[in-house]
Structure 1
Amino acid sequence: MPSEKPRRFTFLLLNRFTMMPFAAAIEPLRLANRAAGKTLFEWRLIGPQGDMAACSNGTRMLLDGGLENDQAPGRDEVVIVCGGTEIAREATKPVLNWLRRQARSGAVMGAVCTGAWVLAEAGLLDGRKATIHWENHDGFAEAFPEIDLYRSVFVHDGNRLTAAGGTSSIDLMLHLIAEAQGDALAAEVADQMLHTAIRTGQDRQRLSIPTRIGVRHPRLAAVIARMEANLEEPISPAQLAADAGMSTRQLERLFRRYLNRSPKRYYMETRLSRARNLLMQTEMSIIEVALASGFSSPSHFSKCYRAQYGSTPYRERGTGQPVEGGNSPS
């Protein structure tokens, strides 16, 4: 039965938060109030700086207060952490302590985009299901192995909510609106937003492989899916071909025709992309990043990385130090 009491949301805007996930979270609440002709949802904006939060696109958002504005939430209040770029540095002691206090008071704790990283640092996702933007997925999984991480657009696990970023906030909020006020209102809000396909917690974040690569070839898509699922322990082209029911030469021709590169090159680029994400998003050592990306030799990893990105892994980190592990054998 629809609730009569307005549900309160607190949006914690961290520095360099991304605009789209935040806007996609707050607008469905406004539209739900407009469609219902009464206040079903209320919200406030707070941030570590107190008066203003800077968005990753340079926009500045006026806030209702800072973390010292520590009102005790009701059990139905929802706290949403809005993250963005360079998220690890936003997990400061004041922010983590504030989040833990909110959780102890009984608030539902949520996050959009990379805000899940800060919830995880606060220990508020331990043993829970969660999601984060696909670009941050590998780094998050390495940093927080105790969290059951999904690649879906959003996850609702009890009193924990996470949305992956971008427009996924719309789907999470429509889900909450439907829970509180019914499916009809959620559908009306979606219609107002021209959001023609409401996604559920079962929908995955990324486009299908054929859509991503611009090629609709079932066997090519199947091979790429196997590559993406086996980055830490790469599978040989011969084995990939055999498992796909073709010869190695046929596999080579398939990749050359549609992707203008060899299977080996495509696989290498995919592994190096993962390595770069891990370097940028985690505190893993260079050798740990190398191993997690399928390189047993740090020197070989450094050589391949430089060829792809024009910089070595340790320079990317800004350490100015040689790659760990020396010249260990491949």
Structure 2
Amino acid sequence: MTLPSQAARPPTAPQTLGFLLLDNFTLISLASAIEPLRMANQLAGRELYRWYTLSHDGGPVRASDGLQVTPDAATAVPLSLDMVIVCGGVGPSRSVQREHVHWLQSQARQSRRLGSVCTGSWALARAGLLDGYETSIHWECLAAMQEAFPRVALTTRLFSIDRDRATASGGTAPLDMMLNLIGRDHGRELAAGISEMFIYDRVRNEQDQQRVPLKHVLGTTQPKLLEIVALMEANLEEPIGLDELGQYVDVSRRQLERLFQKYLNCSPSRYYLKLRLTRARQLLKQTPMSIIEVASACGFVSTPHFSKCYREYFGMPPRDERLGHSRSSQSVELTVLGPAARTETSQELVSSAVLALAQARGEPTYASVPL
């Protein structure tokens, strides 16, 4: 049986995304979310995605770095969107207005997929649209958001895709989320091609965690505990015994155990093991070091013991991690909602995706990934 040629395949309507900009949004998160869409169109040689930037009144919105972005439209313009992504940044509790909440609720009633980048999930939570959903937000807002919205299932993951919700923490994490969504929509080859174009060595998945600074979790109330953890982090290859750690900061082993149990909900030895295994995972994913070398670099005396601990903690052996096998690849794909009929108003508003795709026609990578 022969597969139909690319030209013979029926064209599919592009997915349309609306990016709602909140005051003081982070520009890097917005770019990290939109640029993969642009490159997906370029590599496919056709418009797979189109996007619009929005504000509640259509006026310019200032990013956290002081730059102003003039959006394509106001939220009142009746665009036919498949997905809405809220772009947050500094001070989300002040940036989210009543108009944002009402509009997001209206989008949910129209069964549109919803997402966020950086602190944009604050707006979705305030609209009551994240209750019971696994949600990612920048680590700076974790404690405040948990206090304000206890029904939201917050996680420290870089991004979370839960049914028809997709939320990413800040920085470049939206890039990883969008690459994963594009891979689900159009295949891994396209996502890998985008990653190569951006010189992005490894696409992170839903299992990757934000590194939340311990001092942010504990504040300045436990200087001895912070000092002990710093000693652990500095001595992963040759772990220090618990008695010796206690002597360094002038606390007994029993006091050490109580500190970790009270503030970190685990024993000091378990926390130390977590640090070493997390470091091992980074080395497996980001370096060509052999499994034996990784085990040694992270303080494990034997490879079998390392493999056993790694499997118990991450749910897979180091060899599978090195090969790139991931539990997240087995997760259920998001349901892709078909685009609604375009209204006359929405047709008049031209997405910048059209201009970007036209400019990309002269690039050597144009249409280089057949779909």
Match of 1:259 in 2: none
Match of 1:134 in 2: 139
Distance in structure 2 (CA, Å) of the matches to 1:45 and 1:32: 18
Q: Does the 8 Å contact 1:153/1:203 carry over to 2?
A: yes
Q: CA deviation at 1:166?
A: 0.4
Q: CA deviation at 1:220?
A: 11
Match of 1:39 in 2: 47
Compare relative contact order (CA 8 Å, sep 6+) and give the higher one, 1 or 2.
Answer: 2
Superposed, which structure 2 residues align to 1:1-330 within 5 Å?
A: 4-73=12-81, 77-206=82-211, 215-218=233-236, 245-246=242-243, 249-252=246-249
Match of 2:345 in 1: none
TM-score with structure 1 setting the length: 0.65
Q: CA deviation at 1:249?
A: 4.7
**How many residue pairs were aligned?**
234
Q: CA deviation at 1:78?
A: 1.1
Q: Does the 8 Å contact 2:16/2:80 carry over to 1?
A: no
Residue deviations 1:180-227, cap 9 Å, x none? 1100000000111111111001100117989x95943249999xxxxx
Percent identity between matched residues is 35
Q: Does the 8 Å contact 1:72/1:105 carry over to 2?
A: no
Residues 60-69 or 34-43, more deviating: 60-69
Distance in structure 1 (CA, Å) of the matches to 2:69 and 2:230: 37
TM-score with structure 2 setting the length: 0.58
Q: CA deviation at 1:117?
A: 0.5
Q: Does the 8 Å contact 1:117/1:140 carry over to 2?
A: yes
Q: 1:181 to 1:2 in 2, by over 3 A?
A: farther
Distance in structure 2 (CA, Å) of the matches to 1:70 and 1:97: 15
Could you tell me which runs of 5 or more consecutive residues in structure 2 were left unpaired when the two chains were aligned.
1-8, 215-225, 265-371
Distance in structure 2 (CA, Å) of the matches to 1:206 and 1:43: 31
Residue deviations 1:59-115, cap 9 Å, x none? 111211112113353xxx110000011111222111100000001101100000000
Match of 1:307 in 2: none
Distance in structure 2 (CA, Å) of the matches to 1:86 and 1:8: 28
Match of 1:232 in 2: none
Could you tell me which runs of 5 or more consecutive residues in structure 1 were left unpaired when the two chains were aligned.
223-243, 255-262, 272-330
Residue deviations 1:107-143, cap 9 Å, x none? 1000000000110000000111101011111111111
Q: Secondary structure, in 3 states, of the residue corresponding to 1:123?
A: coil
